[in-house]
Amino acid sequence: MDQVEGDANQDDTFMFVGPIIHSISLNNLEFISNGLLVVSEGKIVTVQKDVENSDEVRRRWNIKPDKVYLMQKGQFLIPGFIDTHIHAPQYPNVGLGYDLPLLQWLDTYTFPLEKKFSDEKYAEKVYDAVVRRTLAHGTTTANYYATIHKESSCILADLVKRHGQRAFIGKVNMNKNTPPDYGETEESSIQDTKDFIEYVLNLKSSLIKPVITPRFALSCDMNLMKGLGMLAAEYDLPIQTHVSENLEEIKQVKMDFPEIKNYVGVYETAGLVNCKTVLAHGIHLEPDELNIIKAKGAAISHCPNSNILLESGVCPVSKYLEAGVKVGLGSDCSGGNTCSILESIRQTLMLSIQASISKVAEKLSIQQVFYMATLGGAEAMGLGCVTGNFLPGKEFDAILIDMNNSSVLDLLDEYNLQQLFQKFIYLGNDQLMKKVFVASRIVKEL
């Protein structure tokens, strides 16, 4: 038998033989044309190049013949994608509202939708769909925003566990400048967040972690943000929020907090900026803000689709990478028009060309952007030692790509592995993702 069937158990040992592609570092994308990868007890135990006798390796690791996948022509293995910024409740609005800039878009489209998540049945319907869809698009790790509703946020955690995705999940906090029927008090927000944290921790899943999630500085007062900073420290949790997405937003933040020098400084004052913080967007960062982010070891989630669709601006990503700041990719559904990180890769590449033409920043390479979608995202989320590439000791989060689908693209010539990879990046979609694995378990199979 030439394929792995069913869900791989933690006790299983199995092997892939064939082309393997993964990032070693920002500028080093490794192509292994004739490779071999062994997974045992949920961890990658060896990756080999220029394999002459895979059967010898199979016997050495005592792998059953039906646990060997011999990749066919046009197939290759890549790490799973990592979405460092996605709003799960906004999935029904994907494709809507791109005629408005950020703040008007929030009031017109987003807040009216999110308040519907007080209905737990509606929440279950939407959250089930978004987890299934992201897994179908190869997102093995997602950094989710939920809503202010504790109960429906717990439902999202349950569904992530049921479907086997690796995820960070945040109950959103907002007690200022909120719609009359969609807001919290400081006290209820802190208490509901503590209850949510305890619920997720009690799921006892190594794949799921709560994340502290103040929506942004315009919707949280300083007392709430400081309380959330204390919770993050108490439970040793990551933090996610938005920063410097829109010029009008930045102006209003400075008016709300006149005693603080800049937007990032607001979060720093609240104790919300550290090596476990992921700041979405960061399009218009001031030099001092970038210095704080670098010094604290925080990360930026680059969200190319929403940055353009909501007319927020072009992010100078290469400048942040050159400064040594961690940068991952975010779909930012539904500010972005997709929950596919592959689409985010494409948009990042194209927008970096525009940034270069406009003298905003240097053009990014395909190696750099693929890194951001995989290993860079893992490092942004504090998972660099767990996932993101295929180094031995890491968990097996992977996508088996099969380019032999004529409904998606035509392969009309002979292409080497690098060329097939480029075609996948620029032309591919979820229909080329034959299998998706999270922690060695199959979570999607075509």
Model confidence pLDDT, tens digit, residues 223-234: 999 999 999 999
Q: Residues 239-275: pLDDT tens digits?
A: 999 999 999 999 999 999 999 999 999 999 999 999 9
Mark whether 40 and 173 lie in a shared domain.
no
Mark whether 169 and 63 lie in a shared domain.
no
| Cα separation, 105 vs 258, whole angstroms | 25
Mark whether 394 and 245 lie in a shared domain.
no
Cβ pair 303, 281 in contact under 8 A: yes
Q: What is the mean pLDDT of the chain?
A: 96
Give the pLDDT score at 52: 87
Q: What is the CATH number of the domain that holds 414?
A: 2.30.40.10
Tally of domains within the chain: 2
Q: Residues 62-86: pLDDT tens digits?
A: 999 999 999 999 999 999 999 999 9
The domain boundary, picked from 362, 380, 398, lies at: 380
The domain boundary, picked from 357, 380, 403, lies at: 380
Does some domain include residue 48?
Answer: yes
Q: Residues 413-427: pLDDT tens digits?
A: 999 999 999 999 999
Does some domain include residue 122?
Answer: yes
Cβ pair 68, 15 in contact under 8 A: yes
Mark whether 437 and 369 lie in a shared domain.
no
Does some domain include residue 4?
Answer: no
Residue 85's Cα: distance from chain center in Å? 6
Q: Residues 343-388: pLDDT tens digits?
A: 999 999 999 999 999 999 999 999 999 999 999 999 999 999 999 9
Mark whether 280 and 191 lie in a shared domain.
yes
Mark whether 74 and 85 lie in a shared domain.
no
Mark whether 331 and 415 lie in a shared domain.
no
Does some domain include residue 3?
Answer: no
Res. 8 pLDDT band, cuts 50 70 90: very low
Mark whether 50 and 120 lie in a shared domain.
no
Domain span holding position 417: 13-79+388-445
Mark whether 298 and 414 lie in a shared domain.
no
Q: Is the pTM of this model over 0.75?
A: yes
Mark whether 367 and 344 lie in a shared domain.
yes
The domain boundary, picked from 380, 401, 425, lies at: 380
CA distances from 88 to 174, 212, 310, 382 (A): 17, 15, 18, 21
Mark whether 42 and 173 lie in a shared domain.
no
Does some domain include residue 421?
Answer: yes
Give the pLDDT score at 12: 83
Mark whether 359 and 393 lie in a shared domain.
no
Q: What is the CATH number of the domain that holds 149?
A: 3.20.20.140
Does some domain include residue 328?
Answer: yes
